[in-house]
């Protein structure tokens, strides 16, 4: 489907910036850069949408199976070009655009940028940051989809707890959870796991490691519904948690709650990171909030599971209503090894609402 | 991102296979008069680097540098906390933390005294990397993919074949008339569960209800005209197959000109991409997907094989 709210916003952006054409380029990794206007999960290696100042949308697809759904969504000219260069040339060579901007320019293969340049005889400018800024604040329809994804994340984690058992491998657990969320409506899923004890310093794709009693099994579970991701982070201990694991969990829980208590419109996102890190500092674990042990204290969510802004003390961004942010103080602690805990938060007019309903606790099997 | 099993089975792909590939890259360095060759990779463009070192950038971009006569060096923005895992599934011994890939590459070249290096498919670089690299002090020599990837070896074909056999037996078991009445989401979940538990690295399932091309599940019911397309990655090697509930088949490649056919390259820059005539000049892994019209419905049948100058052979 065409995201008509975004279409209007992007046309207004074009007028403001003086752009004649706005091109949305996406490959199979960053489909979000196309789907923010044309919300179709294309299957070819690339897809392109071209928005004119009048709001007309045309598209190029690189796989025949994408032709019908994209054409139906844009209700305008849609070209199938197995080689994207041919499609760009066909749609752009007759254009008379003085200024062309590309959302996803940074990600676009240099050869395709050259084709755009040769067809229009102008050097395209990047629209990526402007489009990202618009995308950060979700429309009512987008919020509805994120809520569906969050509900599925909760059910997916319930399945995670149900099936996780000693002797099972990490990749078998992921297979079970992946199958569950797909069977229940997820279009895709971003998922990292880790298992073990204090030797575990981070998460990665699943391995053949088998779960043992006493393991911490961590996951970031991130189902996608109609293009939009929501995430849940929880830690499960196989067997009874040790006092140190419980002590670690209490720190993570307090840090996440501090972020949730602070997050509201007008707050600098750096402070959302700082209040989480302060909890670790208060307990003498401040060094474990740095890049040696952790990546981010959360991030924006939407059509991409790791949108900007990242929640970090050195990233400054004033939070707006209807942003969707996960706050997760995930890091390594010597008490427990790597531990994760986080919920998807919708920024409201006065604060934030957790979209996850899963109990906030250290799970154990 | 990748969330299946990423591994390196040394029995199916011995270290000697990588040594032979590196030796061929040494020769390319000599042919193009460069001291090193660089390859770009990201989540959806991993085939080339997988070939060099078995590295899969499951969630980021990376550059792999193969200095002449040395093992490859990995520049990646992933956290050093995952380096032990990367080293366990690749031939990489040296991994350099590189939040800024062009800057780190420039520093490495400066340290080594290199003023020019080869870059596989230079114009295929993402534009931000391309502009930063070509406007710097280094000279980049374009190494065409055709020069870099020879015909698929027996070991590569065997891994594609293993993936094809997994997908084929799974589809034949799941996509029968007993699947009629399931939702496309439920069928997708069943297929994913079995393939991922069997060790698939990545799986993409598309379902047609007979009225559309295969698409991501959208809540329709599986019926007697439904088809399922499965793209499966096994240890870095892709295959794509389609079957239908009514077990309608086609010869591959199809003999009837009226049937609509889509041919894809599975060993190219992307996981799959449209096949061009020039790709047929050597043995490459391809898929053929056929749309079969039946009344107002469309059924799909397809499989993967080796395409060479002398024709196409089923994996």
Compute CA distances B152 → A333, B159, B237, B272, B307, whole Å: 46, 11, 11, 16, 10
Report the distance separating Cα A92 and Cα A119, nearest Å.
6
C-alpha A268 chain-centroid distance: 20
The 10 Å CB-count burial string (b at 16+, else e) for A184-208 is: bbbbbbbbbbbbbebebbbbbbbbe
Task: At A294, give phi and psi (nearest 5°).
Answer: -150, 165
Q: Do B127 and A41 touch (CB under 8 A)?
A: no
CA quadruple B277, B283, B286, B288: dihedral sign:
positive
Question: Rounded to the nearest 10 degrees, how much is the dihedral formed by the CA atoms of B219, A359, A263, A135?
Answer: -10
B contacts of A202 (beta carbons < 8 Å):
79, 81-82
Contact between A191 and B3 using a beta-carbon 8 Å cutoff: yes
Q: Chain A: nearest CA to B127, how far in angstroms?
A: 5
Q: How many residues does chain A have?
A: 365
Predicted confidence at residue A47, as pLDDT, reads: 98
Q: Does any CB of chain A come closer than 8 Å to the CB of residue B145?
A: no
Interface test with chain A among B83, B89, B166, B274, by most A beta carbons within 10 Å: B274
Q: Do A178 and B196 touch (CB under 8 A)?
A: yes
* Cβ–Cβ under 8 Å, residues A342 and A299: no
SS (H, E, C) chain A: CECHHHHHHHHHHHHHHCCCEEEEEEECCCCHHHHCCECCCCCCCEEEEEEECCCCEEEEECCHHHHHHHHHHHCCCEEECCCHHHHHHHHHCCCCCCCEEEECHHHCEHHHHHHHHHHHCCCCEECHHHHHHHHHCCCHHHHHHHHHHHHHHHHHHHHHHHHCCCCCEHHHHHHHHHHHHHHCCCCEEEEEEEEECCCCCCCECCCCCECCCCCEEEEEEEEEECCEECCEEEEEECCCCCHHHHHHHHHHHHHHHHHHHHCCCCCEHHHHHHHHHHHHHHCCCHHHHCCCCCCCCEEECCCCCCEEEECCCCCCCECCCCCEEEECCCEEECCCEEECCEEEEEECCCCEEECCCCCCCCEEC
* Cβ–Cβ below 8 Å for A63 and B193: no
Q: Which residues of B touch A218 (CB under 8 A)?
A: none
Q: What residues contact residue A72 under an 8 Å CB cut-off, 6+ apart?
A: none
Judge: B4–A204 Cβ closer than 8 Å, yes or no: no
The alpha-carbon gap from A85 to the nearest alpha carbon of chain B, in Å, equals: 12
Per-residue model confidence as pLDDT tens for chain A (365 residues):
999 999 999 999 999 999 999 999 999 999 999 999 999 999 999 999 999 999 999 999 999 999 999 999 998 899 999 999 999 999 999 888 889 999 999 999 999 999 999 999 999 999 999 999 999 999 999 999 999 999 999 999 999 999 999 999 999 999 999 999 999 999 999 999 999 999 999 999 999 999 999 999 999 999 999 999 999 999 999 999 999 999 999 999 999 999 999 999 999 999 999 999 999 999 999 999 999 999 999 999 999 999 999 999 999 999 999 999 999 999 999 999 999 999 999 999 999 999 999 999 999 99
Cβ of B5 within 8 Å of Cβ of A207? The answer is yes
Given a cut of 70, the residues of chain B with pLDDT beneath it are 257-258, 278, 280-281
ipTM of the complex: 0.96
> Nearest CB to A183: which of B82, B185, B216?
B185
HSE-CB for A183 with a 13 A CA cutoff: 18
Separation in Å, CA of B230 to nearest CA in chain A: 12
What sign for the dihedral angle of Cα A253, A255, A261, A265?
negative
Which of A45, A187, A189 faces B216 most closely, judged by CB atoms? A187
Question: Beta-carbon neighbour count of residue A130 at 10 Å?
Answer: 19
Mutation site for A-interface testing, chosen from B9, B126, B179, B261 by largest number of A Cβ within 10 Å? B126
pLDDT of residue A288: 97
Which of A82, A178, A292 is nearest residue B192 as measured by Cβ atoms? A178
Distance from CA of A306 to the nearest CA of B (A): 10
Quick one: B46 exposed, middle or buried, by C-beta within 10 A (0-12, 13-18, 19+)?
buried
Structure tokens at B46: 């991993």
Residue-wise burial string across B132-161, b where 16 or more C-beta atoms lie within 10 A, e elsewhere? bbeeeebebeebeeeebbeebeeebbebbb
Give, rounded to a whole angstrom, the gap between the first and last alpha carbons of chain B: 27
Of A62, A182, A201, which is closest to B192 when you measure between CB atoms?
A: A182
* Interface residue of B48, B132, B189 to substitute, partner A, most A CBs within 10 Å: B189
**Which one of A128, A148, A169, A171 would you mutate to disrupt binding with B, by most B Cβ within 10 Å of its Cβ?**
A171
Inter-chain residue contact A62 with B274, CB threshold 8 Å: yes
Q: Do B192 and A175 touch (CB under 8 A)?
A: yes
HEC assignment per residue over chain B: CCCCCCCCCCCCCCHHHHHHHHHHHHHHHHHHCCCEEEEEEECCECHHHHHHHCCCCCCCCEEEEEECCCCCEEEECCCHHHHHHHHHHCCCCEEEECCCHHHHHHHHHHHHCCCEEEEECHHHCEHHHHHHHHCCCCEEEEECHHHHCCCCCHHHHHHHHHHHHHHHHHHHHHCCHHHCCCEHHHHHHHHHHHHHHCCCCEEEEEEECCCCCCECCCCCECCCCCEEEEEEEECCEEEEEEEECCCCCCCCCCCCCCCEEEEEECCCCCCCEECCHHHHHCCEEEEEEEEEEECCEEEEEEEEEEEECCEEEEC
pLDDT at residue B258, rounded to an integer: 66
Residue from the list B42, B186, B204 with its beta carbon closest to the beta carbon of A29:
B42
Residue with token string 């197995």: A82
Measured CA to CA, the distance from residue A105 to residue A26 in angstroms comes to 9
Residue (of B291, B230, B217) closest to A186 by Cα position:
B217
Kindly state whether B81 is in contact with chain A, defined as any CB-CB distance less than 8 angstroms: yes
Nearest to A170 by CA among A217, A123, A136, A126: A217
Is any Cβ of chain A less than 8 angstroms from the Cβ of B127?
yes
Q: Determine whether the interchain pair B216/A41 forms a contact, defined as Cβ–Cβ distance below 8 Å.
A: yes
The first and second tokens of residue B68, run together, are 């002449």
């Amino acid at each position: 489907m065409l995201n008509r709210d975004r279409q209007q916003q992007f046309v207004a952006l074009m007028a403001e910036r003086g752009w004649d054409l706005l091109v949305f380029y996406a490959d199979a990794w960053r489909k979000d850069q196309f789907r923010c206007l044309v919300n179709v999960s294309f299957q070819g290696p690339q897809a392109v949408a071209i928005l004119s100042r009048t709001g007309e949308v045309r598209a190029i697809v690189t796989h025949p199976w994408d032709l019908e759904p994209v054409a139906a969504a844009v209700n305008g000219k849609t070209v199938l070009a197995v080689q994207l260069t041919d499609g760009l040339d066909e749609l752009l060579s007759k254009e008379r655009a003085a200024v062309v901007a590309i959302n996803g320019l940074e990600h676009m293969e240099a050869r395709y940028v050259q084709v755009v340049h040769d067809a229009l005889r102008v050097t395209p400018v990047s629209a990526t940051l402007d489009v990202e800024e618009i995308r950060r604040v979700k429309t009512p329809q987008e919020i509805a989809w994120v809520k569906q994804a969050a509900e599925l994340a909760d059910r997916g984690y319930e399945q995670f707890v149900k099936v996780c058992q000693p002797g099972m491998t990490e990749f078998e657990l992921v297979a079970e959870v992946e199958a569950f969320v797909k069977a229940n409506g997820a279009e895709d899923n971003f998922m990292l796991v880790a298992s073990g004890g204090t030797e575990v310093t981070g998460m990665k794709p699943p391995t053949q490691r088998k779960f043992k009693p006493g393991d911490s099994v961590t996951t970031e579970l991130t189902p996608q519904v109609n293009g939009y991701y929501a995430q849940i982070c929880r830690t499960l201990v196989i067997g009874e948690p040790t006092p140190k694991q419980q002590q670690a969990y209490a720190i993570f829980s307090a840090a996440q709650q501090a972020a949730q208590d602070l997050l509201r419109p007008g707050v600098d996102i750096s402070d959302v990171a700082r209040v989480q890190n302060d909890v670790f500092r208060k307990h003498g674990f401040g060094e474990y909030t740095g890049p040696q042990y952790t990546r981010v204290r959360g991030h924006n969510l939407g059509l991409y599971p790791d949108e900007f802004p990242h929640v970090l003390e050195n990233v400054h961004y004033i939070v707006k209503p209807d942003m969707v942010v996960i706050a997760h103080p995930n890091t390594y602690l010597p008490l427990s090894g790597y531990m994760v805990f986080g919920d998807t938060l919708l920024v409201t007019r006065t604060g934030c609402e957790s979209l996850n309903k899963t109990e906030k606790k250290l799970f154990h099997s | 991102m990748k969330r299946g099993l990423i591994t390196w089975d040394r029995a199916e792909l011995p270290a000697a296979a990588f040594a032979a590939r590196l030796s061929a890259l040494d020769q390319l360095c000599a042919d193009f008069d460069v001291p090193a060759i660089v390859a770009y990779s990201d989540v959806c463009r991993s085939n080339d680097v997988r070939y060099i070192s078995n590295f899969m950038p499951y969630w980021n971009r990376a550059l792999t540098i193969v200095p002449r006569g040395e093992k490859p060096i990995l520049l990646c923005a992933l956290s050093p906390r995952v380096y032990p895992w990367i080293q366990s599934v690749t031939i990489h011994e040296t991994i350099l933390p590189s939040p800024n890939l062009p800057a780190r590459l420039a520093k490495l070249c400066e340290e080594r005294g290199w003023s020019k290096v080869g870059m596989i498919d230079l114009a295929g670089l993402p534009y931000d990397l391309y502009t930063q690299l070509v406007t710097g002090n280094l000279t980049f020599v374009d190494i065409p993919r055709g020069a870099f990837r020879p015909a698929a070896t027996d070991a590569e074909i065997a891994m594609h074949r293993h993936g094809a056999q997994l997908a084929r037996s799974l589809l034949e078991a799941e996509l029968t008339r007993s699947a009629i009445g399931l939702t496309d989401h439920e069928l997708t979940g069943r297929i994913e569960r079995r393939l991922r538990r069997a060790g698939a690295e990545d799986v993409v399932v598309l379902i047609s209800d007979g009225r559309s091309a295969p698409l991501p599940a959208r809540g329709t019911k599986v019926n007697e005209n439904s088809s399922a397309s499965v793209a499966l990655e096994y240890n870095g090697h892709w295959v794509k197959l389609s079957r239908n509930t009514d077990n309608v088949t086609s010869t591959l490649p199809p003999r009837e000109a009226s049937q609509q056919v889509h041919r894809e390259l599975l060993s190219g820059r992307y996981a799959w991409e449209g096949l061009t005539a020039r790709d047929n000049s050597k043995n490459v892994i391809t898929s053929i997907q056929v749309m079969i019209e039946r009344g107002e419905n469309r059924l799909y049948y397809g499989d993967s094989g080796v395409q060479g100058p002398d024709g196409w052979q089923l994996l």
